[in-house]
Structure 1
């Protein structure tokens, strides 16, 4: 019975975190619409934090997520992503992550 309760609690937590990610996305879009820099920063930070925590609840260590992001950026650069070609954003973010 305790195991069933534990599974149910974990499932509910994951479902709640999924709604948190959606809520943060909505807040970010509203902040973009309003043009509030501080609200955009807050929305982005909340979205990133919620995503990391959701990953952790799904069994993905933060360090593994960091490595996956770095790998994704490297692949996108290799594939000639437009943001890299025009602005160098992927290289800049890769460097930022590497220095953390």
Structure 2
């Protein structure tokens, strides 16, 4: 019975975190619409934090997620992503992650 309760609690937590990701996305879009830089930063921070925590609850370590993001950026750069070609955004983000 205790194991079933643990599974149910974990499932509810994951479902709640999924709604948090959506809520943070909504807050971010609203802040962009309103043009509030501080609220945009807050929305982005909330979205990123929620994504990391959701990943952890799904069994993905923060370190593994960092590695996956770095790998994804390298792959996108190699494929000639438009943001890299025009602005070097992927290289700058890769460098930021590497320095952390």
Q: How many residues align?
A: 100
User: Which residue does the alignment assign to 1:43?
Assistant: 43
Normalising by structure 2, we get a TM-score of 1.00
Normalising by structure 1, we get a TM-score of 1.00
User: Which residue does the alignment assign to 1:94?
Assistant: 94
Q: Which runs of 5+ in 1 are unaligned?
A: none
Tell me how far apart the structure 2 counterparts of residues 18 and 86 of structure 1 sit (CA, whole Å): 33
Tell me how far apart the structure 2 counterparts of residues 17 and 93 of structure 1 sit (CA, whole Å): 25
User: Which residue does the alignment assign to 1:23?
Assistant: 23
**Post-superposition offset of 1:68:** 0.1
Structure 1's consecutive aligned runs of 4 or more residues displaced over 4 angstroms after TM superposition are none
User: Which residue does the alignment assign to 2:79?
Assistant: 79
Tell me how far apart the structure 1 counterparts of residues 15 and 43 of structure 2 sit (CA, whole Å): 20
User: Which residue does the alignment assign to 1:68?
Assistant: 68
Q: Which runs of 5+ in 2 are unaligned?
A: none
> Any idea what SS the aligned residue of 1:59 has?
coil
User: Which residue does the alignment assign to 1:53?
Assistant: 53
Superposition RMSD on alpha carbons, in Å? Answer: 0.2
Tell me how far apart the structure 2 counterparts of residues 18 and 57 of structure 1 sit (CA, whole Å): 11
> Any idea what SS the aligned residue of 2:80 has?
coil
Tell me how far apart the structure 2 counterparts of residues 28 and 52 of structure 1 sit (CA, whole Å): 17
